[in-house]
Structure 1
Amino acid sequence: MFKRVVLFLLFTAMFLLDAGRGFSQIAELSKLESNLPLIKDSIRYVNTLNRIAMLSHLRYRDSCLYYARKAKQISLRHNYSKGIADAKNCEAIYYVSLNNYLSAKYFNDALQLYKSIGDQENVCQVLMNIGVLISVSKNEDRGLDYMNEAFEKSKSLKNDSIRSIIIGNLLGIDTSMKQDRFDALFKEGKRIAEKYKDDRMILYYEASEGRRLYQEGEKGKGMEMLLKSLHSAERLGFETVKVWIYGPLSDMMLDEGKHEEAMDYLKKGIEESEKYGYAEFYLGFAEKLYQHYKDHNEPEKAYHYVSLLLAKQNSIAAAADKSGYNYLNYALRENENEELKDKASSRRKTIALLSCLFALSVALLFLVYRSLRNKREHGKTQQKLHEITLMQNAGLQQTNHFNTMLISVIAHDVRQPFSTIVMLSSVFNDDVDLLTEEEKLGIMKELAETSQKSLSFMDGLLEWIKSKKTGFEYQPEKLLIRDLIFEANTFFKIAQEKKQIKLVLDIPSATTVLAHKQMLLFILRNILNNATKFSPAEGVIHIDLAEDEEHMVIRIKDQGAGMSQEQIGQLFMAGSGDLEQNENNGAGLALSISYEMAMIMNAKISVTSELGNGAVFYISLKN
């Protein structure tokens, strides 16, 4: 047979709750959806929701997440462990191409639940899924450990249909497998797929064999076999198989010199990947199209596809942010595990120490009557030490909270602009010959603006850090309000121009205020950032002020979607989130820091808003 040709690169398409009868799964999905309103039993209803979620991920992935979350909510109310495990497994599959860390979390949660209820078939399935996820994340050895464990456990299953999929993934991951074992496993996997009439897996094996024939010189037969698999996938409604086949077909067409046909397959791949939510396919097709047009000196088309590629990467990054679970959460969780180990070790030492102290106390009891006065003094000393310890613990907790806030802000607000700088620099360096002068100037301008914005943000952040340290002395200075607002708004001009947002400033040029420049700039930037971000296209940001003998109030009004009273109540709380996402911790902390800076300057920040009527931020300063 053959080896390495199989290359089941599109692993996510092979995640199944149970294998068998691929074509009937489409009919089953329609039947389940139509019968769902008729089901009255809660457990049966949950099982149906999870089955729909699993089948949906092969076609429209958003439906997979919708049904899985609905099933999990009901399962939690009924304490139904299998329902919770199935739902978490579906959630993990949905996030495979969007957020590896969140996907791994859900897979591990599902695995522990399946083990606790003795569901060996699904234990094998989740072990396989974890192995694939880890391998895709460039840790092939660790991924292979999980895959081999799934392979061995599946041997004892009464219903061994899952082995066809496990074998397919194992062949794609184990690069050190000997040829004779590879051939034997390939035959076994295909035999199991045929035994259970699993049309989807049969097509995968046949398409892989066609690819092997082409690479070994039987080009006509190999291409014919692959085209036959494509037509079967289209007829049976197997979108994942069809989109996967576009890749090797485009390679064959390029090898034959049929560039137009090759590009047609890649363009179909992009179109259908976008339609069905296959982000991993989309990135591969877009990169191939970009590289082809770049190599053939067609800059306009190359620029178009590199733009699509960058846009999709940005949308995946945004989805990871929206999920609220990223590398920072993953790293902190690992740190928590280490801390738990340290605490366990500390407890063992404490028990040993307490045992020694107990023995010593028994030996010294007879001396107590002669040391009453010393005991009283000792008690006072212990009380003082206890108070000192409590104060130190409180200080350590405050420092730890401060450091966590600082890490979150840096992870959100500093990492993002640097990522933008790296991405823009890469486009400029790699594709400089493809860009017009106007595009080059635009990239350089955006690089400069992003860099300046990062430096200015760090200045404000450093001032906040200084204010948290002992010995900080608040030193206000006389500032021209109008000039300060223009300086703060510098970083949002490009975004405002793109959205055609108009900034209206009704403040006399000579108006001054006594405040700390960097702190006030930090506050203004955060409010202007949110106003620009949430204002509609062609909106207006209006800034004016009102003053009396004691106070000056700067009012910043936007025309965004507005906020509920509940959102306003939590807006300036640390870790509450930004105006739109409760899970976007960095932006929410920036508003919390702004609130603290205002307090240091004896100022106050407040907001009024109604849903649909925008928001008005007020900065009240001493006149």
Structure 2
Amino acid sequence: MRKVLALTIIFICINFLTGFASTQDINQERFQIDSLKEVNQIETNQEQIVDNYNQIAYLFGGINIDSSLVYSSKGIILAKKINYLHGLAVSHSYQGRALIEAGKLKLSMENFDKALIQFSLEGDSINMLDCYSGISYLASYGSSQLKSLNYNLKALEFAEKLKDTSSLSTRYNNIGAIYKRLDNYDLALNYFQKSIDLEQKIISREQKKISKEQLAINVGSLAISYSNAGVLKVEHQKFKEAESDYQKIKSLLPKINSEYVRSYLFLSLAGYYNGINNFDSTNYYIVRARKICIENNYQHILVRVYRQQGETLLKQKQYRESIYFLDKCLNLSDSIGLHEEYPEIYKMSAEAYSHIGNHQKAYNSLLKANSAIDSLKSEKVTGFLVEFEEQKVKNEQEQQQLKLALKNQQVENTAIKMRNKFISALLAIIFLILAIVIVVFYFLKSKKNNKILKSNHKLIKKQKLLLEENIQKLEISEENLQKSNATKDIFFSIIAHDLKSPFSAILGFNDELALHYNEYSDDERMEMINHVGNASKSTYSLLENLLTWSRSQSGAIQLHKEAHQIKSLINESISPNLATAELKKINVVNNIDDTQMVWADKETIKVVVSNLFSNAIKFCNSGGVIYLSCKLNKNMLEICTRDTGIGMSEQIMDGLFNIEKNVQREGTNEEKGTGLGLILCQEFVHKNDGQIWVKSKLGEGSAMYFSLPVHQSN
């Protein structure tokens, strides 16, 4: 059973890692596909259109197999029509790849064979390597492992010639798997070790040059090679030797992003620990593999997870539980058409039924095991290669007969020419004269046509440039419209955000007066009314500030930078929010130096200070303290608003000044916010030639800093 599992891991995982398209960035591939489709609508070169169809088929290979088949078929039809042989061969090659994924193995082999003939005539080693790689993969499904080995060796020859290290590693793994099936331990281990050595060289040499995603793929390939070697050693009861391979796998697992590969590695680890009777670790890795398979619908891997769980329970003499998981394995295998493990599963079921005394079911399971062995031998997939090879021999015989008939015809034609030499010479002279006349005629005519074609070409080129220019203008217009819409959305969000604080004070005092009017003296009521009045005035002031900001976004406003006493400016800015602070019983300690002067635009800085102070109130606990301070740093004055509130995590701080992340959270009294106030602060501080930043720890309060240029005369 482990032989089947190992071979499946090798062929599926290796082809998953080195298939049509990387999973790094599907959006990028879809963008390329759309671009190529647009190009084909205006392209006039037919061969280029074929090449574009092939590139689209290649890109769809990792996204949508049906679409890949559609575009490779389009390439075949057009390439045949214009007799573009190289493009036709590439189309057949990509069709062969897609048909593998579609499960149409015979058609896939036919396409690879057609492509290989043309690539051989061209001496195209790179594409010949790809064809032999695909054919070797198909041959692995057949009954003759020697035939699969032969194709892999041919692919290996080209990979070595081209020094294609990724293909070499894949070939070593595949050849090792074939020798493993042929029970040649030494040769199988030798090729697995070659793959390990090569992958290690690739990683050590290229890890500083390639992307993290590509490095993760290479690490995954290395882990698979270690797994192949480990499974081989476990099968031969060489657990001590296998231990180092599985330790390497465990060290590489954190660096592997692919859930697909991780599930296979977890399953391989489960098999190793089951072999050494460490059932706790076996169950641990079975659970991890099963979780990934269920979350990602990897049903063909889940089948093997159930089988491994059944085998482990059988080994622990938990026979009824073992039967349960073996039955789940059989049911799922039947639903997805995966039958190669039936004999082993039925044998384990027979053993479990025998131990619980159900000898009838044990006998039936043994009968099914034998029947499964016979049915696997008669599967269509094991015979289609033989049928294909026979057809190929028949085609070659027909070609030989055609060549012989052509040769005989050529001999006969030569004899006729010799008998009629004089007539042929005379006809040749006449033909030559006619040819000269025709050539001269067509030369004059083509000269005229060329002028027309050049004129048309120039016109088309001019129209193409004009079209491209119009497309570019439309894209710019669309981008400007999106920016305008985004600015509008931000503007309305900020209005909601900045007006809420003063209205909290207005509504708070209004509710207090409405509910407890008679409980207060006239002086206290008058004080509350004054607070409401002050907050109302500040609200109007905030509206003016926000309208000023909106005009700055549209470029309709210019900043008026002047010298300002910073303490006076800050006092004026925080005044509208003091009532809210008083409601939360927050003490405000103002340590701003009243001698310091800054060079800035008053209105925009007032908006900055008001936002920072409002946020400090929002996230400060009732009864807390807000400190206002400043200090000189060279030619900049750094102003700090620090609170003793709830603080921030690293994740929140990372998104504070990023409009795309739009950080929002409630204040200590469940105050709401849009998360856009600090974006406004950042814009206004930058316009005043300053910087803004934050320091905070969760549960220990926050300190918001911004800097402004010091007035030169200061």
TM-score range, shorter chain: 0.3 to 0.5
Name which one, 1 or 2, has greater alpha-carbon Rg.
Answer: 2
| TM-score where L is the length of structure 1 | 0.43
